[in-house]
A and B are shown apart, each in its own frame.
Chain A
Amino acid sequence: MPRPTRRKAVRSPRTHRHAGHSKAHCVKIFRRLSLYLDRELPDNACEEIRKHLHGCDNCEVFLASFKRTVILCRQYPAKPLSPTAKDAIRAAVLKAAGR
C-alpha cells in the first residue's frame, strides 16, 4: 500500500492566522493602535500587541496601512509664503496695529 504523502502546509495569501483569539481581542488592539505607534504603552502592553499581530493577519495588515497614513501626515510637505505675500501681510498687520 502506497504511503500517503503528507501535503506540505502552504499558506495562501488569503489564509489568515488567528491564534485562538476572539474578535474582541482585535477590537482591543484596534483601540490602542495610536498609543502603540506613538510608543505610549507600557512594555507588557506592547508585547501583548506584538503577539496579537503575529497571530492575526488582519490586524497586521490594518496596522501597516494605519502606520502609513500617519507617516504621510508627518511627512506632508510645508508650503512657504511667497516673499511678496509675506511682505504684504506684514504691512497689513502693522497698518492695522496703527504703526
Chain B
Amino acid sequence: MAGEHDFDTIYREQADRLFAFGLKICGHAEDAKDLVQETFLNAYRGLDGFRGDAKMSTWLYAIAARACIRKRRKKKDAPDRELSLEEFLPTDEGEFRLQPVAAGLNPEQALQNKELKGVLDGAIQALPRHYRLVLVLRDMEGLSAREVGSIMGLNERAVKSRLHRARLFVRQRLSQKGIHASADA
C-alpha cells in the first residue's frame, strides 16, 4: 500500500490539475470533485503498480479518463455519436466567413467575457465524450498526441483525427452563436 507521505505529495501537487480537468469534462464542480475523489482513491490503491514509464500526471489522467468512461456506461445513455468531417465543411460563403470569437479582443480578454465563456463551455459539453476527452487532454491540458493516445487506447492518427473534428465542432458552435463581445463585457 502506498505510504501516506507519498500520497500526500502526489495529492498536493496534482489535485488542482485533476479538478480543472474534471470541470472541463463534467461541466459541474460537484461532479468534478467526485471525479477527483474517485481518481485519487484508485491511485492510492494502485500506486504500487505505478512503474514510472509515464509522468505521474499522465497516469492520473488515465485513471480519471477511465472513471469518466465507466460513469458514462453506468448511466446507460445513448452511445456517443461519431462526428463526420462533412458536417463541418462550410457549404456556402457565409459559413466560411463566420467569425465567432470576439474579434478585437485578445484571448485572455475574450475568455473573461461571460457570454463567450458560457458558449465555449456549452460547446465542449456538447461534444460526444470521446471527442471531448481528446480535445481537453490535448488542447486544454497540453498533453502530446502520443500521451493522449496512451490514455485513450488510441493510435496517434486516431487522436489527431478526433482532435480535428472536435475543434471543428467547437468552432461551429461558437460561430452559430454569433458572439459580438466588447472589451468591457
Residues of A in contact with B (beta carbons under 8 Å apart):
16, 27, 30-31, 33-35, 38, 40, 58-59, 61-62, 64-66, 68-81, 85-86, 89-90, 92-94, 96-97, 99
Contact = CB atoms under 8 A, between A and B. Distances in A.
B64 to A, nearest CB: 13
B149 interface: no
Contacts of A77: 111
A80 B135 contact: no
B20 A80 contact: yes
Closest 9 CB pairs of A and B: A78-B20, A34-B164, A58-B96, A73-B139, A69-B171, A80-B16, A81-B19, A75-B107, A93-B40
Contacts, number: 114
Q: Is the interface of B mostly helix, strand, loop or mixed?
A: helix
Interface string B76-115: 0000000001000110010011111100000110110000
Nearest to A56: B96
Given A66-B167, A69-B170, A74-B140, A58 B97 contact: yes
Interface of B: 1, 4, 7-8, 11, 15-17, 19-20, 23-24, 33, 36-37, 40-41, 44-45, 85, 89-90, 93, 96-101, 107-108, 110-111, 116, 120, 124, 135, 139-140, 142, 160, 163-164, 167-168, 170-171, 174-175
